[in-house]
Amino acid sequence: MNRREYLKCMASLIALSSAAIPGLAIAMGPEDKFTIAQLKYKGAFNTRPTALRRLTLEVEKRTSISTGPKIPRLSATQKSLYQYPLLFWSGDQAFDSLPQKATQALRDFLLSGGMLVVDASDGVVDGPFVQSIRRELTAVFPNRKLSSIPSDHVLYKSFFLVDKPVGRLAISKELEGIFDEDRLVLILSQNDMLGAWAKDNFGSWTFNCEPKGDKQREMSYRLGINIVMYALCTNYKSDQVHVPFILKRRKWKVD
């Protein structure tokens, strides 16, 4: 750098400092960091209060994604929902039907780019919560049905190579989903993923994972990170450039 360039640079910094700038930060600001929102509804919506923050912390630790500290809890009709395109819906019991306004808002949110992950904490396959969810989903998407997410879907390889979906429990062997064209807009898990991620204030796991303990918990985290990665990168890992690598690691034959 010559003298003229140096002076120019210094002048620019002085000028910028003199502008009305409240502060300089090392990132674009907390608002612009990745955050997961939690759906608030009439009923026990916050069954695993610490789980989502734990997940975002793991995401921050293990991936290049920069995450925010907050987990906003928002109702379906709140306009700010659109600031958080990844939304978790959890519960452990049946709940009353959502108002029509709320189902309409959820549909608009999901079709405009949002993604919803439903996690049942009750530990029962097709329990009361899931039945309520299925009822609501027919209202949100009358013409789309939940279907099994195939095991070769990019969700299972968006970051970790995951063989099967597990959470605190492993009672359901598959995830279900609703697609908008090729994009998953909704994922339904019945294995209590949030239960596997939750910690108490002392840093201890809130629940034990069954039947495989901490190994299962790790696999559940990996699935959670994959869900986040899928939300942010969609089918990136199904791009042709990745396919040979992934097949090789899965020890599948490459033609």
Partner 1 sequence: MSTYNSGDLLWLGDWGSLWILFLLILGAFVFAISYYDLRILSKRKCWTLVGLRIWVYLLAVLFLLEPAIDLKNTSKVKNQVAVLIDSSISMDLPSEAGSKTSRLSLAKSGLKALNIPPNKTDDEHVYSFFHFDKESELLPNTDALQAIGPKTDLAGVLEDIKKGFSQKDLGGIIILSDGIMNGDMGSRTRRGETLDAATKSTLERFQAPINTMVSGDPASLRDLAIVNLARDDFAFVHNKVSIEVSIQAVGIKDRDLKLMLSRDGKEVQTRLLKIRKGKSIYKLRFEFVPQKIGKEVYSIDLPHLENEALYENNHAQFLQKIIRDKIRALQVVGRPSWDERFLRRHLKQNPNVDLISFFILRTNQNIRVAGNDELSLIPFPTDELFQDELGSFDLVIFQNFNFGPYDMRRYLSEISKFVKEGGGFVMIGGDLSFSKGGYANTAIADILPVELSDDSDAIDFRPFKPQLTDAGTRHPITTLAFDPTANRELWKQLPDQRGTNIVLKAKEGASVLAVHPTLSYGGEKMPVITIGEAEEGRVMALTTDSTWRWGIERVGDGGTSREYQLFWNNAFRWLIKDPELKLIRIENQKEEFDVGSATKIAVRLSKPDYTPLTNQQITLSVEFKPFDKQTKDPVKLYTRQIRTDGGGIGETMLKMEKAGIYTIFAESKTDGGVLKDRDVIIALGSVNEYRDILPRPKFLKQVASASGGRFTRLGKDTPSVNLLPSKSIQVNRRRVIHLWDTPWSFLLIIALLASEWMLRRRWGRL
Q: Which residues form the interface with partner 1 (CB under 8 A)?
A: 1, 9, 12-13, 15-16, 19-32, 34, 61-66, 79-83, 85, 108-109, 112-114, 157-161, 183, 218, 222, 229, 231-237, 239, 241-242, 245-246, 249
Q: Is 38 helix (H, G, I), strand (E, B) or coil?
A: strand
Q: Judged by CB, which is closer to partner 1: 133, or 228?
A: 228
Q: Judged by CB, which is closer to partner 1: 44, or 232?
A: 232
Tell me the C-alpha distance between 22 and 101, whole Å.
40
- Give min distance, CB of 167 to partner 1, in A: 18
Tokens describing residue 251: 């020890």
Distance (Å) of CA 202 to CA 67, 170, 171, 199, 216: 22, 26, 28, 8, 21
Q: Judged by CB, which is closer to partner 1: 126, or 152?
A: 152
Residue with tokens 């990132």: 27
- Give min distance, CB of 212 to partner 1, in A: 16
- Give min distance, CB of 155 to partner 1, in A: 11
Tell me the C-alpha distance between 187 and 203, whole Å.
28
177 pairs with which residues across the strands?
A: 147, 187
What does the DSSP assignment read for 233-248?
HGGGGGSTTTHHHHHH
Q: Judged by CB, which is closer to partner 1: 130, or 196?
A: 196
The type of residue at 232 is L
